[in-house]
Structure 1
Amino acid sequence: MFFRRRSISPAALSDEELLRRYRLHGDVADLGTVYDRHLTEVFAVCRRYLQPDEEAEDAVMQLFEQLVIKLRQHEVSNFLAWLHATARNHCLMILRAKQRAGPAAGGALVVHFPDAADVESAAHWHLLEIEDADSSLTEQRLQALEQALVELPLDQRRCLELFFLEKKCYRDIAEETGFDLKQVKSHLQNGKRNLKRYLESTAPPTATPNVRR
């Protein structure tokens, strides 16, 4: 008599185990289980860039379709950080496409940060708020935003992602990264300062009117 071994339920497996099983067997249900676990966070990232909510919801579905291909081909070591970055980049691509399709108005990209002294109570702030009076963003400024995040030192970028995107407190960040509380606070403050400085340094010069004397 032969006994069939029961397959382990996806809910009982970790993200890493499900992703490994998905790469081996290609069962989309495994990937769907992982994605469902982080769906709220992915939607929150998309909402920071896309309005109204329907556009953010569309982006969340489009992103899953990309993951079906990407995660079958590539192994990801830090899935949650990779997922946040991939969602952000996908939204930036959507904004670029809108800019190309719309009028070349050349809107300005404005980045708002909490005050450094009030950083610990500012977890509800968006890491990056994009505002544009004409509802259009320039390709140059979108590229600068994406590049600025990449240019940050890894420790600063990781602390910013944990604090603003995953809404973790100082103590949780310290436990996850191995930094002490003083280092966490320093990385957050320096990361925001460097991000803002980079964006300001790459901003196109403002044209000054030619006044005839």
Structure 2
Amino acid sequence: MVPVKHIENNGHTDEQLLKAYQASGDQSELATLYMRYTDLVFGVCLKYLKDREDAKDAVMNIYQELIAKLKTHAVDHFKSWLYVVSKNHCLMQLRKTQKTMVVEFQPDFMQSEDFSHLDDILEKEKEFQKLGRCIGSLQEEQKKIIQLFYLDGKCYNEIVETTGLEWNRVRSLVQNGRRNLKICMDKNE
């Protein structure tokens, strides 16, 4: 199947108009080419921006972008390239409006002298201290393996390499150590 070249009014293809603009910089060539696709660009902008006036503004802004971009970009299929440029332009517009969200100042949200959030921190600190004591109460071999597995983040294979123990022994020490820690933590509540 032979691709159909878009030809309109003046008998020039998209490729011919694009090459003419890139060679001469004559905006009338670009304007002729762009006018073929303004409905497409407007539709894309309306889809993303959801406002007719914003979409109209975007159509004009995209044309201004094309003046600069087409001087340096190699474009094989103008219509699909223009669609992507239009979509990206709209997405950038949406990002800009999201970043500039205005929030009304409310004094109630200011920090007060209520330090109840510190209670959670103190409670976690107590749990860590209890965990440290429970780890300390484990048998030496179990303690070493639990520290390697949980605190150092090593896997069974790494522990085997580090300690020289067999893989099944490491697994057993981790499982028994975990059980013993749970029993110790529950007992000290």
TM-score by length of 1: 0.43
| Bigger helix fraction | 2
Structure scoring higher RCO (CA < 8 A, sep ≥ 6) equals 1
TM-score by length of 2: 0.49
